[in-house]
Amino acid sequence: MQIFHHIASLRDALKTERLAGKRIGFVPTMGNLHAAHIELVKQAQQTNDIVVCSIFVNGLQFGLNEDWDKYPRTFEADCQRLRDAGCDFLFHPDDREMYPNGMDTQTRVICPTMTDVLCGASRPGHFEGVTTVVTKLFNIVQPDEAVFGVKDFQQLAVIRRMVEDLCMPVQITAGTIHREADGLAMSSRNGFITPEERPRANQLNKSLNWVAGQIRDGRRDFELLESEARAQIEAAGFRVDYLTVSDSRTLNPAAVDDTEITILGAMYTSGARLIDNVSVEL
Ligand code: PAF
């Protein structure tokens, strides 16, 4: 695996591959890679000749009181995992390479819908940071296809919308959610769950699945379902950020005749904010 810290050298290497007719797949990450990231790399390998992974903990998408400084940085272990997975290129820029004029004056990419609800409501500016850095990464890598995990359902929806609105020539592919044996969605933030909380940390997933089951069984009283599920999570000792039954496409509250529904949730453990979602097709 070749490692690049600079945009110019990555571009040179990719130009050679592109001229040789190779199709480029891309998996953007913030590192601290786990099995779910590696599955995204493997997914990208199936439909591309060259796979590029990026590791960049993007300060622009973290709020002032968020965990940018304590976000786990495990570069050597990440490299080993990517090598073992057969990843071709790794892009690992520093802040100066990505934001040479500073973050404050960086030109932004703003998606005006879907970004101030759910995760966007409790993380103002987060999606602007994501769409801006993903646009920059797309411009640097110019991939034919980019693969994003569906655990970040809202992020995936926002990126799809951005790509459509800005006519970006890249195919966006959703990777599946990978879970621990008890249903907890794999996440770089799971390392912040305490051993005492860990046996109960799958409650978010349990409650989302419970709501999905109730909907499949015919219930359409979504607001009541949401508050019942919230109560389950609180009873397990966690604070709920949001739990909503949403239209999968628009992320608006689901209507009773919707046929594609996603139940999305976020909850706080003592050290981490965890997100998850479950989709239902009726
Ligand atoms: O999902 C992530 O890890 C990040 O939001 C992304 C897409 C790499 C942008 O920084």
Percent over 90 (pLDDT), the chain = 98
Q: How many folded domains does the chain comprise? A: 2
| Nearest residue (CA) to ligand 1, atom 6 | 29
282 belongs to a structural domain: no
- Give per-residue pLDDT as tens, 118-129: 999 999 999 999
Task: Check whether 66 has a pLDDT greater than 90.
Answer: no
Q: Compute the distance from residue 198 Cα to the ligand 1 centre, in Å.
A: 24
**pLDDT for residue 266:** 98
As annotated, the active-site residues are: 37
**CB 28, CB 107: distance < 8 Å:** no
Q: Please, what is the average pLDDT of the chain?
A: 97
32 lines ligand 1 (CB under 6 A): no
130 lines ligand 1 (CB under 6 A): yes
CA-CA distance, 194 to 64, in Å (whole number)?
A: 24
The CATH number for 156's domain is 3.40.50.620
109 lines ligand 1 (CB under 6 A): no
CA distances from 187 to 37, 143, 251, 264 (A): 9, 25, 22, 16
Of 47-51, 68-72, 136-140, 256-260, where does mean pLDDT reach its minimum?
Answer: 68-72
Q: Are residues 147 and 79 in the same domain?
A: yes
Q: Compute the distance from residue 92 Cα to the ligand 1 centre, in Å.
A: 13
**pLDDT for residue 64:** 85
At which of 175, 204, 235 does a domain end? 175
Instruction: Kindly state the average pLDDT of the residues 84-105.
Output: 98
- Give per-residue pLDDT as tens, 176-194: 999 999 999 999 999 999 9
At which of 175, 198, 215 does a domain end? 175
Q: Compute the distance from residue 27 Cα to the ligand 1 centre, in Å.
A: 9
> Best mutation site among 91, 132, 133, 163 for ligand 1, i.e. most ligand atoms within 8 A of its Cβ?
133
Task: Check whether 19 has a pLDDT greater than 90.
Answer: yes
Q: Which domain holds residue 104?
A: 2-175
Q: Are residues 56 and 165 in the same domain?
A: yes
Task: Check whether 67 has a pLDDT greater than 90.
Answer: no
Task: Check whether 106 has a pLDDT greater than 90.
Answer: yes
182 belongs to a structural domain: no
> What atom of ligand 1 comes closest to residue 149's alpha carbon?
1
At which of 175, 205, 225 does a domain end? 175
The residue to which tokens 């999305």 are assigned:
264
